[in-house]
Structure 1
């Protein structure tokens, strides 16, 4: 059964949009109302959980060993005339802002957020910090960008107290504009194709200005992300306007060498391609013939935009914020130089293969050539791919998953690591737990192994609830948090008696074994070496 390339691409990106829902359990859509502000008596001592920022005081929640502050505005609501404009500073407030409840998720279809969201007033962040508000020395800061194909996701899905407490760091999770509201591109529209990236930079500017109030060190900020969040980190490494906003980078399952020809990556598009998509959206929502199309678009409801936006969402290069494609910047050495920790999961592509197969694609020895031909950017390479990845009677799913995983994740990650390593310190990992908590509630057609998103429950309590881990898996989770946060502290993940992580090779992360392996083991990167 042949699966045309466009069908595979559409299924893949639709799954990408739901990929944040694999990991964080669905969270209810927050009511889009501003948190309450109450008066703080000036003569009284500061109550527990209250910190003073440049915009005003905020009251968080005090837990056993840590504090959380939710729904903190880092930019003005991008509504009305501010839709599709660069983020503006938030309005200061008097009294104490209640930061004990999650803020609205940015507008998105049903998925990670039950029922989706139509909120545009969504530019908020969350802070988790160990309980001492004034530590002996400022703590390193980890700013987390969620995944979800630049179409779904919300910062509040990533409950970070284990990372904050065990690693003695301050963790910030961020909402940013998604879909057409974050990446619309039109001729003459300032900021076209990069509004979501501009939001991320605004959140980093908030961190630089105010994270000291939470005990964080604005001079030691690590920008981290997974999947679309990782591609966003790559874009920020290539963006001139992000200079000085962060000092280290963590890139999980989103290599900087991703290209639009790879159908599972929200990698950057050229402006001309994105403008064509923007023109198509303008026509679909009835604004093409308006005297002022942009003014018309700004009156279209978020729900209508969501209904007509394309499945694909990509940041746009050839723009002031992102002058150069991050993959090209990587190739020419134009990414900002800093320590980088990056990696992928051993069976990254399995969840995509499972989803495509559930949608009707059959993978057998007989159908395999057509499946490969429709999937591979260069169909002339089909014989080479079939030789490297032969399908027998009962292993079609895992083999298809290996093709997707190698071509989109493992091999581009290896390429990214090689190109970066000559210019900056690079630490590469491969998460390989074959029994990691399954990222889908639907029974897959074959075991998914260490597929896309499965490393996340080892770092966060997704959706606010920890996944069930065995004791060896809990030890691995603690070890990973130690590696990640030591890297955030010093640029080197080693220390505290953990197995040594060398600068060469790949640190394999398994519950029963953590240590270096030879690059390329278990993958066929020679097949994809000269692919886009």
Structure 2
């Protein structure tokens, strides 16, 4: 009997029954018109569906506006353009544009029941990426879910602000909410259950999920949350993250508005600057925002390249979208009470530091300097807990372990404990050491983002093949959570000395003591410099 009960727990719950849907078809009627997608043997895909009007010209830096309905059948066999962004090494980002508020839907072919819906928010530090990079056919075919991947405004187009500008610093988050409203209105047409929507994301996408949990405007737009490597409590001390000053993923509104004012002056759009008039002459401009909206997108990305772009990649709080810093909102218990699946990877920071350490290995002096900048007179204590000798005499690996534990693992555990005071939370740690990686010449371990090939195809910046057994398990868990709100392990207890956190790695099962593995008790005693 125990064996049978365990087997039943590991199986995903059946989709929610509902009114019979139409036979599987390449044509679907959305609330703005017909779309024609692609039907394969086991799944359907619909790409490049607009969920908001193009945010260009007078709509730049405005809340997302309704789509204009179309006549006839719209082609949905190829994705829309990625959102305008800084150049990157991501091979999936081709020809980015401001006209980018599109989404993609992947569904099982089999119809007749309402499927759970997963809305996926891509990562990329709020400055790069695209939803079309995530091929979700396994979550549809094996997991029985309808998966929606979206684009949302990035960088200066998504998080710019000026005094008096409605939506300052939150346009990308507003796009996500507009996409969720589209899903509520259209999920049933694709065979999904509009009342069973899970918002999921990784890195900046995970941070977005956490932000939406605290946003009043997201109330009622989704029913469950999956946060991958994106705790609301993520922060860093000075110097630990490539010499950056101390900070977090959130910015207060005055800082964003000040950065916007300085950008306006830099581009000649200050209130005393000059701009081209409609008749081709030159005259004084008393409209900085109008001047900036007339500035070519390429000029905006060029003006915010380099270190300065960080000013417009931090969502702003103290705004209608985020009234409070999301970290403070969690501490106060001010968030939507929804089931949450949350976790991180075992070696998060190797994915950042290793890209340099592989080709120009960090020295012991660089490691010491980073610790001193970050922790001041506590640097020696940190070095004693993370000696270079424990990491194959590679200072870069010791540095990555410090940053992983201080910036990712322990804040994730702390954030999950805060959530668990008020709602059901299920913790995990992705710990696979031999999966797809950037290359085979560096010990990447379970770096930031390395769980993605186990859920999606199309992750072209990693090479290698995900272990099929672990990939099947993760698809089953993610889709099962979307269906029922419970995975196959116990929920986290906020009061437990060792909260249950499921380890995910090939050939390994059971829980992991996240606090012990990442020295969280120690970090609770180490102040930043």
| Fold shared by both chains (TM-score > 0.5) | yes
| Mapped partners of 1:492, 1:422: distance in 2 | 17
Greater shift, 260-269 or 384-393, is seen at 260-269
Greater shift, 86-95 or 457-466, is seen at 457-466
Aligned to 1:39: none
| Mapped partners of 2:360, 2:482: distance in 1 | 44
Contact 1:105/1:113 (8 A) holds in 2: no
Cα 1:527–1:355, aligned 2, differ >3 Å: closer, same or farther?
farther
1:271 and 2:270 matched? no
1:119-149 Cα deviation digits (max 9, x unpaired): 11100000000013x42x2110000000000
Over the aligned positions, Cα root-mean-square deviation in angstroms equals 2.2
1:147 and 2:128 matched? no
Contact 1:113/1:153 (8 A) holds in 2: no
1:343-384 Cα deviation digits (max 9, x unpaired): 0101111122223546867331x443212123x2x4233222
Cα 1:463–1:350, aligned 2, differ >3 Å: closer, same or farther?
closer
| Mapped partners of 2:212, 2:53: distance in 1 | 21
Contact 1:143/1:223 (8 A) holds in 2: yes
Aligned to 2:378: 381
Greater shift, 109-118 or 198-207, is seen at 109-118
1:477 and 2:447 matched? no
Q: CA deviation at 1:501?
A: 5.0
| Mapped partners of 2:366, 2:153: distance in 1 | 40
SS of 1:212's equivalent in the other structure is helix
Pick the aligned partner of 2:263 from 249, 259, 281. Answer: 281
Q: TM-score with structure 1 length normalisation?
A: 0.84
Aligned to 2:180: 204
Q: CA deviation at 1:277?
A: 1.6
Aligned to 2:327: 327
| Mapped partners of 2:155, 2:149: distance in 1 | 19
1:48-106 Cα deviation digits (max 9, x unpaired): 31011110111110011100000000000011100000001100111111100111000
1:395-432 Cα deviation digits (max 9, x unpaired): 21211111111111111111011111111111111111
Aligned to 2:66: 89
1:317 and 2:317 matched? yes
Cα 1:307–1:201, aligned 2, differ >3 Å: closer, same or farther?
same
Q: TM-score with structure 2 length normalisation?
A: 0.85
| Mapped partners of 1:526, 1:381: distance in 2 | 15
Q: CA deviation at 1:115?
A: 7.3
| Mapped partners of 1:412, 1:465: distance in 2 | 27
1:403 and 2:402 matched? yes
Aligned to 1:22: none
Contact 1:73/1:123 (8 A) holds in 2: yes
Contact 1:501/1:515 (8 A) holds in 2: no
| Mapped partners of 2:340, 2:463: distance in 1 | 28
Q: CA deviation at 1:266?
A: 6.3
Q: CA deviation at 1:502?
A: 5.4
| Mapped partners of 1:54, 1:140: distance in 2 | 20
Aligned to 1:234: 210
Aligned to 1:521: 516
Contact 1:460/1:466 (8 A) holds in 2: no
| Mapped partners of 1:529, 1:417: distance in 2 | 16
What are the within-5 Å matches in structure 2 for residues 17-28 of structure 1?
A: none
1:506 and 2:495 matched? no
1:50 and 2:27 matched? yes
| Mapped partners of 2:325, 2:68: distance in 1 | 34
1:147-179 Cα deviation digits (max 9, x unpaired): 000000000000000011111010000000000
| Mapped partners of 2:237, 2:368: distance in 1 | 19
Contact 1:66/1:161 (8 A) holds in 2: yes
| Mapped partners of 1:70, 1:245: distance in 2 | 22
Q: CA deviation at 1:275?
A: 1.5
SS of 1:143's equivalent in the other structure is strand
1:76 and 2:73 matched? no
What are the within-5 Å matches in structure 2 for residues 450-469 of structure 1?
A: 450-463=446-459, 468-469=464-465
1:252-301 Cα deviation digits (max 9, x unpaired): 01111123758768611001111222122222222122421111100111
Equivalences, count: 473
Contact 1:373/1:382 (8 A) holds in 2: yes
Aligned to 2:4: none
Contact 2:93/2:130 (8 A) holds in 1: no
What are the within-5 Å matches in structure 2 for residues 27-38 of structure 1?
A: none
SS of 1:514's equivalent in the other structure is coil
| Mapped partners of 1:282, 1:190: distance in 2 | 17
Cα 1:463–1:141, aligned 2, differ >3 Å: closer, same or farther?
same
| Mapped partners of 2:523, 2:414: distance in 1 | 10
Contact 1:475/1:511 (8 A) holds in 2: yes
Cα 1:269–1:465, aligned 2, differ >3 Å: closer, same or farther?
closer
What are the within-5 Å matches in structure 2 for residues 98-497 of structure 1?
A: 98-111=75-88, 112-113=90-91, 117-132=95-110, 134-135=111-112, 137-259=113-235, 261=237, 267-288=249-270, 289=273, 290-309=285-304, 310-312=308-310, 313-357=313-357, 362-364=362-364, 366-374=365-373, 376=374, 378-392=375-389, 394-438=393-437, 440=438, 446-463=442-459, 468-469=464-465, 473-494=467-488
